[in-house]
Amino acid sequence: MSETNQPSKVDKHAVHTAGGARVGATILGAGMALPKTVLTNADLEKLMDTSDEWIRQRTGITQRRIAKRELGETTASLGTRALQAALDDAGMRPTDLDQIVVATITPDMPTPSAACQIAANLGAGNIAAFDLGAACSGFVFALNTVDALIRSGNARNVGVVGADIITRHVDYSDRGRGTSILFGDGAGAFVVTGSDDPDTGVLARAMHTDGSRWPDLFIPRADDDFPADFDHDGHGVDINCLHMNGRAVFKFAVSTFGDLIQETLDKVGLKPEDVDHYVCHQSNKRILDAARERFGLPEEKLHINIDRYGNTVAASVCLCFSELKAANRIKPGQLVMFLGFGAGLTWGSSLWRL
Ligand code: UT7
């Protein structure tokens, strides 16, 4: 991957001379990368007993992207393209980065991490690079982690990537129709840098887990990974396949999403209307509509793009923000609340002043 010719805006080494001064964090660039192949609801009708009408009514999705290895589309290659786009947006070079954090549950290999592969692809040099796994909450957890690393003086210019190829784990037969129709592949990335203004960056965060509910959403690698009472064939398609209790996760998501917004606002004494953008994990349009209605938010404050991409796991939050930024709807000083929830079960928020 070639480096951008644009001059770098940020001093990579400034962190080492910060001398304990308070610093803020800012999202300087954002980018995204999508697989070429579009999988429409009409395509799914040919694979399983479903209909375009059912999928649109129950989820709001009309199409999603699906990655193909034969086209060179891997988690690392999509993540690399997304981070290069974010660097271009920020006017920075890969060698300006001192860390890369990748939120993913589908690295191409158990090791090396997707972050190591992306660092190598970009020619980012000998920097800190690691993956963080919190499923659909992963990118939000990564943003909170990176803000803390920067504010504590342990990082300065960080590439934060959300990338997943979840369609490797879905079953496109009748048996998997309650799950497969939701998901798509993609990657998004931010470049987050230290800022001289300590009032920028995370104002409030929440990160939660209820590990006892892991059987609601899991990908087993072996027969004994299944919960004891789970009806499965023990072989073949059930292994390595995403299993979801859709109704249970739906109920959890509708209540949790609203509670999470309220919890985050309460931490800083803000009202729902004070926030300029709610950038949410795209799980199901009905879940997002419920949150919007509970707080009386206008449509333009809660961006929805699930119709085009489906649920892209760790990528969805950064795909949303990248689209808003590319459309010039993101302005300095605005308040943006990032929200995610998913397998684990995990859920979290990150409220930023830009
Ligand atoms: O990001 C990770 C977090 N995951 C989520 O947020 C997912 C949350 N859950 C959901 O989004 C929804 O539960 C689904 C979209 C997965 C399912 O929608 P639902 O309204 O909860 O449907 P359901 O599972 O209650 O099924 C209703 C009916 C059933 O038929 P019967 O039993 O009523 O005769 C299903 O068999 O719809 C049937 N059905 C389908 N019909 C056509 C299930 N999947 C399909 C399908 N096409 N693809």
Considering 41, 116, 136, 241, which one is annotated as catalytic?
Answer: 136
**Ligand 1 pocket residue status of 127, Cβ below 6 Å:** no
**Ligand 1 pocket residue status of 186, Cβ below 6 Å:** no
pLDDT at 230 (0 to 100) = 81
Confidence band (pLDDT; 50, 70, 90) for 228?
confident
pLDDT at 5 (0 to 100) = 47
Note whether 190 and 207 are same-domain residues. no
Considering 169, 277, 281, 303, which one is annotated as catalytic?
Answer: 281
**Ligand 1 pocket residue status of 253, Cβ below 6 Å:** yes
Note whether 233 and 308 are same-domain residues. yes
Note whether 154 and 12 are same-domain residues. yes
- Residue 294: give the domain boundaries: 202-353
Note whether 38 and 149 are same-domain residues. yes
Number of domains in the chain: 2
Show which of 153, 172, 197 is a domain's final residue: 197
Give the Å distance between the CA of 46 and the centre of ligand 1: 18
Show which of 197, 227, 242 is a domain's final residue: 197
Q: Is the pLDDT assigned to residue 107 strictly greater than 80?
A: yes
**Ligand 1 pocket residue status of 312, Cβ below 6 Å:** no
CATH of the domain at 178: 3.40.47.10
Q: Is the pLDDT assigned to residue 99 strictly greater than 60?
A: yes
Note whether 156 and 220 are same-domain residues. no
Note whether 252 and 170 are same-domain residues. no
Q: Is the pLDDT assigned to residue 248 strictly greater than 80?
A: yes
Nearest CA to ligand 1 atom 35: 178
Give the Å distance between the CA of 250 and the centre of ligand 1: 9
Q: What is the average per-residue pLDDT within 166-184?
A: 94
Confidence band (pLDDT; 50, 70, 90) for 344?
very high
Q: What is the average per-residue pLDDT within 258-280?
A: 97
Q: What pTM value is reported for the model?
A: 0.93
Closest atom, ligand 1, to C-alpha of 286: 11
Confidence band (pLDDT; 50, 70, 90) for 14?
very low
Give the Å distance between the CA of 169 and the centre of ligand 1: 18
Q: Could you report the per-residue pLDDT of 309-339, keeping only the tens digit for each? A: 999 999 999 999 999 999 999 999 999 999 9
Residue 32: partners with Cβ closer than 8 Å, 6 or more residues away:
82, 85, 186, 187, 188, 189, 315, 318, 319, 322, 323
Note whether 302 and 223 are same-domain residues. yes
pLDDT at 235 (0 to 100) = 56
Mutation test residue for ligand 1: of 46, 54, 55, 58, the one with most atoms within 8 Å of CB: 58
Note whether 152 and 274 are same-domain residues. no
Note whether 249 and 315 are same-domain residues. yes
**Could you confirm whether 136 is annotated as catalytic?**
yes
Q: Could you report the per-residue pLDDT of 199-208, keeping only the tens digit for each? A: 999 999 999 9
Show which of 173, 197, 221 is a domain's final residue: 197
SS3 readout for the chain: CCCCCCCCCCCCCHHHHCCCCCCEEEEEEEEEECCCEEEEHHHHHHHCCCCHHHHHHHHCCCEEEECCHHHCCCHHHHHHHHHHHHHHHHCCCHHHCCEEEEECCCCCCCCCCHHHHHHHHHCCCCCEEEEECCHHHHHHHHHHHHHHHHHCCCCCEEEEEEEECHHHHCCCCHHHHHHHCCECCEEEEEEEEEECCCCCEEEEEEEEECHHHHHHEECCCCHHHCCCCCCCCCCHHHCCCCEECHHHHHHHHHHHHHHHHHHHHHHHCCCHHHCCEEEECCCCHHHHHHHHHHHCCCHHHECCCHHHHCECHHHHHHHHHHHHHHCCCCCCCCEEEEEEEECCCEEEEEEEEC
Residue 108: partners with Cβ closer than 8 Å, 6 or more residues away:
74, 75, 76, 114, 117
**Ligand 1 pocket residue status of 178, Cβ below 6 Å:** yes
**Ligand 1 pocket residue status of 247, Cβ below 6 Å:** yes
| Residue showing tokens 């209790």 | 245
Is 209 within 8 Å of 141 (Cβ atoms)? no
pLDDT at 3 (0 to 100) = 42
CA 301, 32, 71 angle in degrees (round to 5)?
140
Note whether 235 and 165 are same-domain residues. no
Give the Å distance between the CA of 305 and the centre of ligand 1: 20
Q: Is the pLDDT assigned to residue 27 strictly greater than 80?
A: yes
Note whether 150 and 270 are same-domain residues. no
Quote the crossing angle between the two packed helices 285-295 and 246-268, to the nearest 10°. Answer: 30
Note whether 167 and 209 are same-domain residues. no
Confidence band (pLDDT; 50, 70, 90) for 236?
low
